[in-house]
Amino acid sequence: MALSKIWVYGEAANGTVSGTTLELLAKARELADTVEVVTTSGADLAGPAGANGASKVLNIGGTDGKLVGVPAAAAIAAAVEAGTGPDAILFATSYDGRDVAGRLSVKLDAPVITNVTDLVAAGDGLAGVEPIFGGSTDVTTAFTGDKVKIFLVRPKSFTAEETGGGAAAVEELSVPDTGATGTAVITNRFVEEKSGPSLDDAAIVVSGGRGLGEQDSFELIETLSKQLGAAPGASRAIVDAGWVPYSYQVGQTGKVVKPNVYIAAGISGATQHLVGMKGSKYIIAINKDAEAPIFSVSDLGIVGDVHKVLPKLIEALQNR
């Protein structure tokens, strides 16, 4: 084994473990003798963590109503200083994962290797592989020091696989005083109503881009998504333009999706976007510009106007 102990930063989603946590556990098991989960959601995670190969869940308590970045990083750093820390710690590239990893890297004065889609043994350590330029080039980066190796890993990089183990034992990890840094409090939580599957889980994703021309045309994407039981997505261009919220964004600075079918409508396929959807099994693209890079990764490309193609497609699907 490359390492003796890896911690996976565990996150909960909808009262259970997040898919990415399980993906990280599957990879960590290949790389280290001991795999443990460190989390602020211990009670929710003990069962699934154990069933996916973690021997222990280290629970950082008392973070209710707080942003987790500061307390989680402080607790992990304290464990490292006390000599009970891991050789490497894996975080998902998520809202909270990035917060904790950033804070932790300063506390340990240790670098972070980010946007990793694969982890490989490198001597007696571990290196991260990051795709750049729209996924055309893979860069492998290794740590040179002997500090705890912090990795931020993109979702969908690995495949989760249960080991069938029983619930992991839960141990508490205490949070030292965080002073002024820990003073942000959550006063309210809003869950936006969304029908249909999420971008993470959908078997089909339909994304729209600048080729839609105007915000109102995004309705075409919503309608087609509903018909196909798909999740609607968006390119960065129309998120930046304020047409749809950031949570729709597929790409390097948004979500990574790997659905069975990905439909890109009015998206040119900037490298920014390709990184987020290239791993889809089948890709269908509709774009006016025959030279658009999206066609270089498409299984089926229609060179045409989304305003003509989409309404006909929607009608045809209605009549089926």
Partner 1 sequence: MNVVVCVKQIPDPAEPGALDPETKTLKRDGKLILDESDSYGVEMALQLVDAAGGGEVTLVSMAPNSEVSGLRTALAMGAAKAVLVSDDALKGSDALGTSKVLAKAIGRAGDADLILTATESSDGYTGVVPEQIAELLGLPSVTFAKSITIDGSSAKVQRQTEAGYDDVEVPLPALVSVTAGVVEPRYPSFKGIMAAKSKPVDEVTVSDLGIDAGQVGWAGSGQEITDVAQAEARQAGTIVEDDGEGFQKIVDFLAELKVI
Find the binding residues for partner 1 in span 82-111 (CB under 8 A).
Answer: 93-95, 98-99, 101-103, 105-107, 109-111
- Rounded CA separation 77/67 (Å): 17
Phi-psi label, residue 184: left if phi above 0, alpha if psi -120 to 50, beta otherwise: beta
Residues in the chain: 320
- Rounded CA separation 1/20 (Å): 22
Considering the complex, state which of residue 6 and residue 284 has its C-beta at the smaller distance from partner 1. 284
**Beta strand pairing call for 112-116 and 118-122:** unpaired
Single-letter amino acid, residue 298: S
Sequence-ordered list of residues with C-beta below 8 angstroms from that of 298, at least 6 positions apart, any chain: 264, 283, 284, 285
Contact present, 134 and 275 (Cβ < 8 Å) = yes
* The only residue of 122, 160, 167, 170 in contact with partner 1, by rule CB under 8 A: 122
Single-letter amino acid, residue 26: A
Considering the complex, state which of residue 35 and residue 205 has its C-beta at the smaller distance from partner 1. 205
Residues 7-66 that bind partner 1 (CB under 8 A): 13
Residues in contact with partner 1, counted by CB under 8 A, come to a total of 98
Shortest spacing between CB 173 and partner 1, in angstroms: 19
* The only residue of 140, 163, 174, 215 in contact with partner 1, by rule CB under 8 A: 140
Write down the residue that tokens 């964004």 correspond to.
249
284 near partner 1, rule: CB under 8 A: yes
Site string for partner 1, 227-266 (x = CB under 8 A): -x-------x--xxxx--xxx----xx------xx-x---
Shortest spacing between CB 163 and partner 1, in angstroms: 26
* The only residue of 81, 132, 176, 289 in contact with partner 1, by rule CB under 8 A: 132
Considering the complex, state which of residue 56 and residue 115 has its C-beta at the smaller distance from partner 1. 115
Contact present, 8 and 17 (Cβ < 8 Å) = no
* The only residue of 7, 9, 143, 262 in contact with partner 1, by rule CB under 8 A: 143
Considering the complex, state which of residue 159 and residue 188 has its C-beta at the smaller distance from partner 1. 188
**Beta strand pairing call for 112-116 and 149-153:** parallel
Backbone angles phi, psi at 148, to 5 degrees: -60, 130
69 near partner 1, rule: CB under 8 A: yes
Shortest spacing between CB 150 and partner 1, in angstroms: 9
